[in-house]
Chain A
Amino acid sequence: MKSFRLVNPTTIDEAVALASDPNSGRVQYLAGGQDLLTEMKEHLAEPDRVVNLKSIPGLDVIDSSSGALGVGSLATLARIESDATIRAHWTALSEAAASVASTQIRSCGTLGGNLCQRPRCVYYRIEEARCLKKGGTECFSYGGFNKYNAILGGGPSWIVHPSDLAPALVALGAEIVLRSKTGSRRMPIERFYVLPADGDVTKETALLDGEIVIQILAPKPAPGSRSTYLKFKERESYDFALSAVAASVTLENGRVREARICLGGVAPVPWRVTRAEAVLVGRTLDAAAAREAAEAALHGAEPLSQNAYKIPLTKTLVERALLALVR
């Protein structure tokens, strides 16, 4: 790693006052460090100042006393995974947290870090490959090795967003709260993620320099609603998703009143599939309905040379995730 100054603020105001500036150099925020430190070891990130968020009290609170769920950005994945209330009422989030990486990562990796982590695309992660995301002119995966890359929403970069929590939070209708020197912002979590075609291709989120994630807020689940997160990994023990499905369904009198379905590991952003949701509304969630929704979910998929398998794979996962909700 390149040398840096480590700053330990004790308030959020102190932290966000430390945005990058030409005099003191580039600032990056450190939560659990399970992604940032690997990037720094690869010289993909070379901040001059690393601003530690763990020294700020109160950023890791998990609170559902009001009925809605608030999870602070510094809450660890292990705490989210083991929280009985989250498991009971925001199950997709619990299952997503449990599916991340390994015990060692989950014990200190955080919600905020998981949402803001950078892509796993092999070209991105190799310093010498100066791809589009790193200021270059080309996405090497497009004509190269793209087995793990996007089948939806791709272009001009074909990364997939690696977060497990993000699709789960989309399915739960969550919002994300950000803070900077100029104040707070709050938005549905889907708007936090930006397609490469729609914004700065060197970033994956709407997070500005000098801005940090404070918390996510998930609404109180409607009666009769259940959610789940189904992740498919190439290696079960410790891997990112080849494809994943987060789904939340509210049933009323045996029929679907509401559904939210979000795909992970297949697009540069968590990929909400309203087309598939529309298939289900008003119907009984049976095998036929699940299959139809699965077909609709992959509408518009444009595979690359090596990742067309993600289409039948994802369809299977959508079907199974939905049927699991009514078992």
Chain B
Amino acid sequence: MADVTDRALGGEEAADLSRRRFLRGAGGVAAGGMIAPSLLAASGSANAAPAIAAHPAGPETLDGDVEIELLINGTKRKVVVEPRTTLLDALRMRIDPALTGTKSVCERGNCGACTVLVDGEPRYACLQLACDLRGRAITTIEGLGTPAQLSVLQQEFVAYDGSMCGFCTPGFVVAITACLQKDPAASEATIRTACAGNLCRCGTQPQIFEAALAAGRRLAEGK
């Protein structure tokens, strides 16, 4: 890639626009003494079981093409990936037939279009290594409903016009599904926070919030 330390300046000399000033910053970090009494080292019990068993011959090392098994929407799927393969790429390009409901939009965890659930918690699939998710329950948009059998939230999305171009929709549906699963009585503020990590460029957010609240009411009433 280009190295822009050598740069052309549209005709100007480099000298007057040089930014080579190595000033030392003013002040330093104040030395703070410990005010609190002595600390105890925390002792803890194991929390999450490791997905990988201890190897007597040293730690498990994955290199090059590996076949792994992922639990996706309740079904075990074998897929060949590399260590660098993200869950998003595994879903969209390696599993056969491809699961393309989860969208690739920014690949940097900024837009939420790739939101999936891992053990019920929303994550950006573009920032998950597929190999890291062995043994976890992965839920994609395909696992939440079908056109013939829409989930309650999906029904309300349709009723309230929560989609325009629809490219952001799977991400929003997954993120809000997780929110309502935790609390069907979630307020609008809670719903907004739950999908604050999702982007819609068409601007359907107001309808999305209404759909989410309507779905929440039905779920809370057991409908």
- A–B proximity contact (CB within 8 A): yes
Q: Known contacts A33-B128, A219-B34, A272-B32: does B121 contact A5 (CB below 8 Å)?
A: no
A3, B82: Cβ atoms under 8 Å? yes
Q: Does B127 contact A (CB under 8 A)?
A: yes
CB proximity of A66 to chain B, nearest CB, Å? 4
Q: Does B148 contact A (CB under 8 A)?
A: no
Q: What separation, in Å, do the CA atoms of A219 and B108 have in the docked complex?
A: 36
Q: What separation, in Å, do the CA atoms of A33 and B108 have in the docked complex?
A: 11
CB proximity of A237 to chain B, nearest CB, Å? 4
- Considering the complex, give the chain B residue whose CB is closest to the CB of A154: B25
A197, B25: Cβ atoms under 8 Å? yes
B22, A107: Cβ atoms under 8 Å? no
- Considering the complex, give the chain A residue whose CB is closest to the CB of B83: A6
Q: Does A212 contact B (CB under 8 A)?
A: no
Query: Contacts of B128 on A, CB cut-off 8 Å?
Result: 33, 108
A104, B22: Cβ atoms under 8 Å? no
Q: Which of A168-214 contact B (CB under 8 A)?
A: 170, 173, 175, 177, 188, 190-191, 193, 195-198
The segment from A128-136, A285-293, A316-324 that touches chain B is A128-136
Query: Contacts of B83 on A, CB cut-off 8 Å?
Result: 3-6, 50
- Considering the complex, give the chain B residue whose CB is closest to the CB of A141: B19
Q: What separation, in Å, do the CA atoms of A130 and B7 have in the docked complex?
A: 12
B107, A70: Cβ atoms under 8 Å? no
Q: Does B219 contact A (CB under 8 A)?
A: no
Q: Does B123 contact A (CB under 8 A)?
A: yes
Q: Which of B20-61 contact A (CB under 8 A)?
A: 20-32, 34-37, 39-55, 58-61
Interface centre among B3, B43, B131, B197 (most CB of A within 10 A): B197
Q: What 5 pairs across the A-B complex have the smallest Cβ distances? A: A70-B42, A102-B197, A219-B36, A61-B44, A143-B19
Q: A33-B128, A70-B44, A156-B23 provided; 19 other pairs, C-beta below 8 A?
A: A5-B61, A8-B61, A10-B53, A33-B129, A52-B132, A55-B60, A57-B47, A57-B49, A58-B46, A68-B39, A69-B42, A78-B121, A102-B198, A104-B123, A107-B121, A130-B4, A139-B19, A177-B41, A272-B32
